[in-house]
Each structure stands twice: as C-alpha cells, then as structure tokens.
C-alpha cells in the first residue's frame, strides 16, 4: 500500500503534493493559492430556486420554501402574486395578507393558519391580534382590509354559518371580492359546497387543505 509522505501535517506546497506517491493521483482536489484541510473534498454548488430557469411552472414564489406547486395551483396563485407585487411596489408598508375567517374559527383553525403564515415570514392582519380593546370593530377591519395586499379567505362550515347570519365575515367577503387579490382556502368542505353559498367566491380558484397541512398551504 502506498503511504503518504506527510500524513500528519499535510503538504506545504503543490509541488510537494505532486511528488507524493500517495497524493499525486488526487491533485484535482487541490486548490491553488489556498492550502485545504488534509483529506478535504471539493465543495459543490447546488443551485437554489432563485438560480433555476424561469420557464419552470412548478416553482414556489418564495425561494425559501421547498414546497412545489401543481400546474393548477401555479395558474391560481400567479395572477394574485403579480397583483401583490404591484401593491408591494406602490405600498411597501402594507401587510402581506388579510386573513378573513369565521368568528368561531378564530382560536382554532384560523389561528393555526395565521401561525403557519407568520412562520414563513408573512405579515398577517388577524383580528385576534390586531383589534384592540376599546376600538371600533368595523373600523379596525376596514383599516386592515385597506392596509393589506392580498385577502385569504378561510372557508369552513363555521364560515358558511357566518355568511348566512350576515356577520362580520360577510362584510369582509364583500370587500375582498371587489379586488383581484383573493385566495380562498377551503377546509373541511369543498368548492362544490362553497358554490351553494357564494358563486362569486367559488369562481375564484384557490387551495384546499385536503391532503395538505396548514404549514404546506402557508408555504404555497
């Protein structure tokens, strides 16, 4: 077996390494002008989503996420993303998202979605957090709608009840439907059931939690 001539300290020069009977065959690991750690391997550069071709239709909009989008999801979210990007340019201080939900969901699934979005670095207007004691409920919501770039509507059975009762969620829905920046997310229901409550909202393509966690939905 061929032994390295300098097993403890390595080779001080490139010529010394080249003359070593054990290491001369591995000189392609060597980097000129810098002495590498003995036995180290060359580092590879792995491309990130930001460096990939823009022709791919399966990439997520945020480069930090590893979740991919289906063709349908990409077609759904791309127009909303483009509108949000324009809003971000024009109104840099706005929140990323206004989260519309039923009152009954505020401490459960709506909170879960809110937390998942914030873990992704998304700034969210959320009634449980942003409506302070002693302030006008409707006025606070009005400001939240005005100061957010995109509306996410969490559609649940509780949301249907709120719409039927013409509650606050009904008012938020009416305001959000006036924009092109709405993404419905159906949870424990279907778009077919939604169409029986709101044809306008059901006509907006969105996302479904069936088979996906709120974390995955937030990444998308």
Tokens 């059901």 correspond to 202
Phi-psi map region of 56: left, alpha, beta (phi>0 left; psi -120 to 50 alpha): beta
pLDDT digits (tens, 9 = 90+) for 161-215: 998 888 888 889 999 988 888 999 999 999 999 999 999 999 888 999 998 999 9
3-state secondary structure (DSSP) of residue 200 = helix
Give me the pLDDT at residue 136, please: 86
Give me the pLDDT at residue 23, please: 52
Alpha-helical runs (H) found in the chain = 14-19, 71-90, 109-119, 127-130, 137-146, 157-164, 168-176, 191-195, 199-202, 214-219
Give me the pLDDT at residue 63, please: 43
HSE, side-chain direction, 13 A CA sphere, residue 113: 30
User: How would you list the strands of the sheet with 124-125, edge to edge?
Assistant: 124-125, 95-100, 148-155, 182-186, 207-208
pLDDT digits (tens, 9 = 90+) for 5-16: 554 444 544 455
For residue 19, pLDDT over 70 is answered with no
Give me the pLDDT at residue 122, please: 94
Rg (CA), the chain: 27
């Amino acid at each position: 077996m061929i032994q390295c001539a300098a097993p403890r300290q390595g080779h001080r020069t490139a010529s010394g390494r080249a003359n070593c009977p054990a290491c001369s065959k591995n000189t392609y690991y060597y980097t000129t002008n810098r002495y590498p750690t003995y036995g180290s391997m060359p580092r590879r550069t792995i491309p990130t989503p930001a460096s990939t071709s823009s022709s791919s239709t399966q990439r997520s909009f945020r480069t930090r996420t590893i979740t991919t989008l289906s063709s349908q999801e990409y077609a759904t979210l791309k127009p909303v993303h483009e509108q949000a990007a324009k809003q971000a340019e024009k109104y840099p201080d706005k929140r990323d998202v206004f989260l519309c939900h039923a009152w009954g969901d505020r401490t459960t699934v709506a909170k879960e979605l809110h937390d998942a979005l914030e873990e992704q670095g998304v700034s969210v207007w959320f009634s449980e957090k942003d409506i302070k004691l002693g302030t006008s409920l409707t006025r606070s919501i009005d400001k939240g709608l005005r100061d957010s770039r995109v509306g996410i509507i969490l559609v649940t059975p509780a949301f249907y009840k709120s719409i039927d009762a013409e509650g606050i969620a009904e008012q938020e829905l009416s305001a959000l439907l006036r924009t092109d920046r709405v993404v419905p997310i159906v949870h424990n229901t279907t778009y077919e059931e939604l169409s029986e409550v709101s044809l306008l909202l059901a006509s907006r393509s969105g996302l479904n939690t069936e088979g996906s966690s709120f974390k995955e939905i937030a990444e998308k």
